[in-house]
Structure 1
Amino acid sequence: MRAHTPRKSALDRLHELGGKPRIRTISTPQSDPSRVAITFDGVHDGARATRISIRARDLKQLSLVPGMVLDAETLEALKRAVRLDMAHRAALASLQRAPCSRRRLIERLSRRGAHDRAILETVCDELSAAGILNDEASARSAARAMVARRPAGKRLIEQKLRAKGIAPATAKAAAEEAVADRDPLTDATSLARKRLRTMSPDLERHVVVRRLSGVLARGGFDPDVCRRAIERAVGESIDDA
C-alpha cells in the first residue's frame, strides 16, 4: 500500500527553490480574482513547476512580473506575502465556523503554531478595517443572544463577553445595551419562578431562599433585585429567612 505523503505548503515549496528563482508566469484564477498564482522555473516533486498563491494586493506591493529573478530580499518579502495569505484564509474560515473576538481569533490560530503572531495581528487589522472582524458588533450580537436564551443580569452578560475575549469597555457597553429595555426585576422573577417549580415542595423555606439567591446571583442580578424577585416568586417577605 502506497504511503500517504503530506501535502507541502506554499512556504515549503518556496524554501525548496533555493538560489535566485525566476518567475515564469503570474495569473489570476477565475474562481478567486482576489488572489494570484505564481509559477517558477524548474520542477517541483519531479513533475510540476513550482506554483504558489498570494493575495493580489500583496503582488502590487511586491511589483512582481513574469521573467523577474528574485533576489534574497524580494524572496523574503514574497515569503511574508505567502504567510499573510495563509493566515488570511485561515482567519476567514475560522470566522465562518464561529464568529469571535479579535483576541479569541488570534488565540485560535496561534494554538497550533502554524501562524506567526505578528502576521495574525496584521491580518486582524485588515479584517477589522474591512468590517469583517468587529468586536463591537460581535459583542452586541452575543449579548442579545444571551438575553434571548435566558433572563440574565448585566454582570453575567459582561462576564461572559469578557471570557470570549471582548475588551472590558466593549463588554460593558454591549451588556448595558442588551438589558437597556428590559426590567431586571421582571427577568429575575421569571428566572426564580422557573427554578422554584423544579424544587421539592417539602424543602424548608430558608433552603428555598438560599437556593434561589444562588441562582439569581449567578445570573448576574444585583442583591436588591434578587431579594425582591424571590419575594415575588415565593409570595412573601424573606427578611427573616
Structure 2
Amino acid sequence: MKYKVSKEELDALFREVYSTPQTEKNYTIPSLKRKEEYKFLAYKYKYALKNFLISNIPVEFSIVSFNSFTGSQVSEKNFYINGYDVEKKYRLYICASESIEYIINEHLSYDVNKLLNEKFNTQSFLDSLSETLISQLKNDFPFTFRKINRPVIQFYEDEFIKLEYKLDIKGEPAQINLLIEKTMVNSVDISPFIFSIPTTAGKRKLKKLKDILPVSVEIVSKPINISVDMLKSGQEIEITPEFIKQIR
C-alpha cells in the first residue's frame, strides 16, 4: 500500500525549505588591514633582508614593495614556514613563497648547475634567512627565540602583524613575509632610528654637507691683569679662581 501525500502538504514543505535563510558558515578568511604605523618595521628590516638576498640569490632580483598589515586569521598557502616561540608568550613566523625555488632554478645557467652539481633549495635558503632576521630582531626584542617545528601558523593571541616584502626575480613575482604577534610588538618600545655604516655615496654627501655648513670655534674670556713685579725669572704663577679674584 502506497502512502499518498496531499498536494497541500507538498506545497507547505517546499515553502518551508526554500524560505529558510542560508545558515552555511562562511569559510572565507577576512582580508588583512593595511596599517601604516607598523610600516617603519618593514622598512627597518628591509636592508637586512636586501643584504641577505644579494649574497644568497644567484640571479637578478629587486624588492618591489614592502608593506605592513594586521589581521586575526592567517592564510599562507604555498609558503615555506619557519616558526619561533618567544619567551613562551609570543610567536613569530618567517615565510618564503615556493615560487622562489622554481624561478631561480629556471634562470640558473646550465653550466653553473652542472659545475656545482646542486640546485637552489628554498628550505635551506629560509633557514639562513631566518637566522639573519632573528639576529636583527633581537636588537629590538631582547627575548629568547626558540625554533618550533610545526607546519602550521598558530599564535597565542589572535592578532598579528604581517610585514610583507614583494620581490621581482628575473621578471617573476615572489614573496617573503614576517608574521609577528601583535602583543609582542606592543610589549617593547622599538627605536624608530636605523643605524648603519654610511656608503661611499653617503660619505661624499656628508663631506659636502660639512663644506656647506662650516663650523667656527671662538673662545671668549675676560683679560687678567698681572703686575710687572710678579713677572720674575723662575717664578711660577698659578692661575686659580682665588688668584683671579685677588688681582681684579
- Scaled to the shorter chain, the TM-score interval is under 0.3
Question: TM-score, structure 2 length as denominator?
Answer: 0.19
Query: RCO greater where, 1 or 2, for CA within 8 Å and sep 6 or more?
Result: 2
Question: TM-score, structure 1 length as denominator?
Answer: 0.19
